[in-house]
């Protein structure tokens, strides 16, 4: 199994090299040279498979012969030891709860799988690895917990000061050991820019083996395809193909769904549901992607003004705008609309949404209103509402119960390093 850069100016590489590098030397993102395909009987067997079994079979397609089956099975069973329930809120609307992992966010899927994959590859090479990750909230905590104590790997997390929830911040700044958190004076886009610069900086790469834990890393993206299969397995027989509404920021979550469809999963449509940071919905309308500074919203993990995975999306469709529009329907919503739907869903269904999942519900409702033939909508629930207790309380008057594994972090002292948004400072820090 070989991987190539979206910019096509770098040599093809193995999965190991793609994972360890994070991004290609030319600055592009890795995708399979040839997209694999599911075995003929896989979809028939799908309803009977447990999630780790789905992960093993789908993951093996992307690993090829590079990882022994027993190693891949150990990675899959170790990474996914929590449930992935599909909850019905009505005949047409379902919520796929992706927040039952250790840090109560969907990022646990990619982070835990990637950590185990990297650990296996690092043991093979014997070289120390530095993982750098920019986060707008949940990625940082998921990566921190997934890599905590992993031998041979140190993790540096960049997060925007004052732009993550208090619970998110405590989850990523209180661990210590091989985890370092840098509190950047700026936006997520500043953090992402600095991380990307570090990955291709000659001075850093001469002295360090550096990789990314953001969804620019193919090891994050592959496992994000697994839960699309799990959703379809639980949905059962339907009159039409399911429509997935995906709360979107850096667009790794949605791109994972595109991978699932490309290798053989039946999907009717993807909804790219964003907050005020609507550069991709605007692209779908106008045909032009115009990156801009991110705007701070209540759904802060989606506050991205220049989404990295857009490069993979246009590559998968050979830059064919009409083909992209056929599969992806874009929409964006304000904070006021987000609060309103959180209140309405609680009143009508007794179900509590976090502000990101709420944007996904708005996306489905908007799409369903214009497409009456769409019979089954699946919204990806990206985070537990307790991680955004202040917003939930503002919207519903309810203070969500804090899971014990989240509450345990709130009283721990914060360990972060105040940082500027200048790359030179990051370069100096990494080399020091």
Q: Catalytic amino acids?
A: 107
Q: How buried is 429 (Cβ within 10 angstroms: 0-12 exposed, 13-18 middle, 19+ buried)?
A: middle
Tokens encoding 298: 């209540």
C-alpha torsion sign, points 176, 178, 184, 187: negative
H or E element that contains 426:
helix 423-431
Where on the phi/psi map is residue 350: left (φ > 0), alpha (ψ -120 to 50), or beta?
Answer: left
In this structure, are residues 210 and 130 in contact, taking their beta carbons and an 8 Å threshold? yes
Interstrand relation of 416-419 and 269-274 (parallel, antiparallel or unpaired): unpaired
Closest by Cα among 145, 179, 173 to 159: 173
In this structure, are residues 91 and 376 in contact, taking their beta carbons and an 8 Å threshold? no
Q: How buried is 197 (Cβ within 10 angstroms: 0-12 exposed, 13-18 middle, 19+ buried)?
A: middle
For the stretch 393-418, what's the b/e string if a residue is b when 16 or more beta carbons lie within 10 angstroms of its beta carbon? eebbeeebebeeebeebeeeeeebee
In this structure, are residues 248 and 380 in contact, taking their beta carbons and an 8 Å threshold? no
**Residue listed under structure tokens 């699309």:** 228
Bridge partners, residue 330, by sequence: 272
Q: d(Cα 268, Cα 378) in Å, to the nearest integer?
A: 11
DSSP 120-182: HHHHHH---EEEEEE-SSHHHHHHHHHHTT-TTEEEEEEEETT-S-HHHHHHHHS--TTEEEE
Alpha carbon 427 to chain centroid distance? 26
> In terms of residues, how long is the chain?
432
Tokens encoding 364: 């489905």
What residues contact residue 153 under an 8 Å CB cut-off, 6+ apart? 115, 118, 119, 122, 128, 129, 130, 131, 147, 178
């Amino acid at each position: 199994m070989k991987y190539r850069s979206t910019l096509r100016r770098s040599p093809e590489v193995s999965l190991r090299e793609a994972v360890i590098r994070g991004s290609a030397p030319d600055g592009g993102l890795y995708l399979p040279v040839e997209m694999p395909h599911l075995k003929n009987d896989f979809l028939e067997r799908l309803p009977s498979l447990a999630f780790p079994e789905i992960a093993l079979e789908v993951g093996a397609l992307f690993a090829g012969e590079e990882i022994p089956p027993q190693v891949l099975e150990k990675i899959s069973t170790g990474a996914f030891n929590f449930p992935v329930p599909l909850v019905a809120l009505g005949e047409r609307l379902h919520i796929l709860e992706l927040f039952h992992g250790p840090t109560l966010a969907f990022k646990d899927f990619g982070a835990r799988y990637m950590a185990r994959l990297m650990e296996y590859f690092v043991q093979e090479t014997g070289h120390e690895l530095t993982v750098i990750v920019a986060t707008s909230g949940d990625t940082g905590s998921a990566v921190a917990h997934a890599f905590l104590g992993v031998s041979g790997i140190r993790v540096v997390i960049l997060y925007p000061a004052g732009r993550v929830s208090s619970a998110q911040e405590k989850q990523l700044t209180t661990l210590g050991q091989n985890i370092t958190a840098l509190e950047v004076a700026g936006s997520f886009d500043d953090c992402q820019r600095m991380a990307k610069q570090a990955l291709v900086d000659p001075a850093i790469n001469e002295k360090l083996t550096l990789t990314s834990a953001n969804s620019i890393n193919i090891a994050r993206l592959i496992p994000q395809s697994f839960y699309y299969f799990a959703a379809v397995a639980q949905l059962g027989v339907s009159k039409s193909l399911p429509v997935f509404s995906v709360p979107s920021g850096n667009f790794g979550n949605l791109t994972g769904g595109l991978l699932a469809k490309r290798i053989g999963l039946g999907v009717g449509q993807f909804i790219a549901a964003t907050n005020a940071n609507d550069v991709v919905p605007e692209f779908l309308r106008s045909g032009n992607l115009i990156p801009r500074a991110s705007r701070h919203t209540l759904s802060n993990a989606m506050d991205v003004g220049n989404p990295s995975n857009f490069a993979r999306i246009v590559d998968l469709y050979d830059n064919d705008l009409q083909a992209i529009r056929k599969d992806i329907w874009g929409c964006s919503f304000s904070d006021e609309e987000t609060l309103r739907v959180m209140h309405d869903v609680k009143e009508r269904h007794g179900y509590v949404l976090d502000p990101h999942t709420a944007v996904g519900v708005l996306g489905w409702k908007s799409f369903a209103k214009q497409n009456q033939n769409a019979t089954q909508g699946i919204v990806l629930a990206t985070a537990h509402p307790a991680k955004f207790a202040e917003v939930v309380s503002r919207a519903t008057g309810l203070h969500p119960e804090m899971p014990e594994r989240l509450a345990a972090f709130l009283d721990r002292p914060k360990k972060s390093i105040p940082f500027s948004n200048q790359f030179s400072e990051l370069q100096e820090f990494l080399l020091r």
